[in-house]
Amino acid sequence: MLKRSIGTSGIESSAVAFGAWAIGGWKWGGSDAEASVAAIRASLDSGVNLIDTAPVYGFGLSEELVGKAIAGRPREDIIVATKCGLVWDRETPTLHANSEGRDIYRTLEPQSIRAELLASFKRLGVDYVDLYQTHWPDPEADMRAVAEAMHALKAEGLVRAIGFCNASLDQLTASADLLDCDQERYSLLDRKRDSDNLPVCQSEELAFLAYSPIAQGLLTGRIDSKREFPESDLRHGNPRFAPRVLDAVQAVLAPVKALARDRGVPTERLVLAWTLAQPGVSHVLAGTRNVEQAEANAAAGELVLHAEELDVIDHAAAAWPGFESLLQA
C-alpha cells in the first residue's frame, strides 16, 4: 500500500483512505450498520489505515460505526480523521443546510470546537484524534484564529494534525504555516483545485486530501440512466447525474475503461491511482459502503501506472467539458 505523509505532522498513512460519509446514511439513502462495519474492517485488512469521518455524517452514526469497527485493534495502527464546525443541536448565525428535518449550523467558536472534539472521542471510543479538520469555514469566524485554536488542541495532545476542508485560497494561504493538510473536492471530473489550493499545498508542504475522488460513483463508469437513486440519496435529481452528463462521462471514460480492461482491473481503481499521481495530491478519500468496494478501492493504493497509461488518462481528463458547460448547454 502506497503511504503518504500528512504534511509535516510526522504521520504517515495509507494514500487511500476509507471515506465514511456514506456509511452514516445521511444524504446517501440510508446505510446498513453491519455492512458498514464489515467494510471498514475489510479496508483495514487490505492495508488502508486512514479513515475520514465527521460528526454530521449520520448525526453521529458514522463516527459510532468507525468506533465499533476499530475497537480491539491497536490504536496506533489506525489514523482517525474527523471534523468540527457543523452542529445540529443548537442555532448559530449561519445556517449551513436543512436536511432530513434538521437544521445544520456552522460554528467554529473555540469552545464549540473543543466540545465537538470531546463528543467525537466518545462516539469513536478514542482519547485522541489523529487528524482534526474544520468541515466548512464559519463566515462569523476569523479562520486564522480558528487555526490557532486547533493548533492549541494539537499542543495539548488531543489531536496530532490539523487541517481545513472547503477552504478558499485566501483562507488556506493565511493559515498554511499552522496546518498539516487541506481537504477539497477533487477528481478527474473536478479539477478546480489544480490552479489554487493544490499549488499552495505543494509549496507549503501540506497534504492534499481529495474528497469525492470517484465523483460520487460517476467514475466507476457503471452508473447509467437506468440507475435509480432513493429520494434521500444526494444523487437523486442531482444535475451532476443528469442523462446528458452521464453520456459525457461515458465518452470521456471510454479510453480509461479500455485500459482497465487491458489490465484486468475495475475503472475506479485506475481513476484513483491516476488521482494519486497528480502533482500535490497526497491522499484520496474513497467513499466506501461494503466489503467489495473496500477491497476494490484499497487495491488502488497498490497499482502502479506506467507513463503511457498516465498519458492516456491525462488525455481523457483533458477531454472532459466540465459540469458547468454541460449543464449550461
Residues with a known catalytic role? 57
Residues in 11-30 that interact with ligand NAP by CB under 6 A: 19-22
Binding mask 58-97 for ligand NAP (x = CB under 6 A): ----------------------------------------
Judged by CB under 6 A, the residue of 286, 299, 313, 317 near ligand NAP is 286
Three-state DSSP state, 144 = helix
Q: What one-letter code names the amino acid at 215?
A: A
Does 268 participate in binding ligand NAP (rule CB under 6 A)? Answer: yes
C-alpha cell at 101: 428535518
DSSP 278: S
8 Å CB contact between 72 and 36: no
| Strand bridging mode 102-106 / 86-87 | antiparallel
CB-nearer residue toward ligand NAP: 171 or 307: 171
Does 162 participate in binding ligand NAP (rule CB under 6 A)? Answer: no
Task: Give the C-alpha separation, 8 to 11, whole Å.
Answer: 8
CB-nearer residue toward ligand NAP: 30 or 156: 30
Judged by CB under 6 A, the residue of 4, 123, 283, 289 near ligand NAP is 289
Number of residues that bind ligand NAP (CB under 6 A): 26
Nearest distance from C-beta of residue 268 to ligand NAP, angstroms: 5
Residues in 111-140 that interact with ligand NAP by CB under 6 A: 135
Binding mask 219-238 for ligand NAP (x = CB under 6 A): -x------------------
Task: Give the C-alpha separation, 148 to 128, whole Å.
Answer: 18
Q: Which one of the spans 65-73, 209-217, 242-250, 321-329 is the region binding ligand NAP (CB under 6 A)? A: 209-217
CA 216 centroid distance within chain: 10
Does 213 participate in binding ligand NAP (rule CB under 6 A)? Answer: yes
The answer for residues whose C-beta is within 8 angstroms of residue 202's C-beta and 6 or more apart is 208, 279, 280
Name the β-bridge partners of 17: 50, 285
* Burial class (CB within 10 angstroms; exposed 0-12, middle 13-18, buried 19+) of 306: exposed
Chain residues binding ligand NAP by CB under 6 A are 19-22, 52, 135, 165-166, 183, 211-217, 220, 268, 285-289, 293, 296-297
